[in-house]
Amino acid sequence: MKIYQTASEVIGKSEVAVVVFTHGDHFYFDEQTGVGQSGNWVVDPEMVEGMDKIIVYYRADGDGTNHIFLGTYAGYYKSPEPRRYIIRFHSIKKVGTTPNNWFNFGNGSQSPVCYVAGK
């Protein structure tokens, strides 16, 4: 597995991605098909609609490893929680890990959601 330092390294040069930080709550996908969703994010729907990819920074409780997943953005829908959305994706798979904390990996963002362009 590859080791990434930043989210922008995970995608291609001409791609843009929404990046989310999760401990696994509301992050579901079928390992066979790669189809799934991650939910309850405060996002700008217009901004998310322009994304090519989704990057999931997943820190499992007790694991100590920051797992990185990459998938193709497939839309969003409103969450039952006000002002929050659930992001859908397909073709998601684990592509590596990162030794970095969320702030350093996720473009210096304190929010659990950020947007990046490939390098």
Give the residue among 44, 21, 23, 26 at the shortest CA–CA distance from 80: 26
pLDDT tens-digit profile of 57-110?
999 877 789 999 999 999 999 999 999 999 999 999 999 999 999 999 998 888
pLDDT band at 37 (very low <50, low <70, confident <90, very high): very high
Q: Which residue has the tokens 């490893």?
A: 65
The residues, any chain, with a CB within 8 Å of residue 12's CB and separated by 6 or more, are 118
What is residue 108's predicted lDDT score, i.e. its pLDDT?
85
Question: Which residues, listed in sequence order, are joined to residue 98 by a DSSP beta bridge?
Answer: 66
Predicted TM-score (pTM) of this structure: 0.95
Residue 3 in tokens: 């080791």
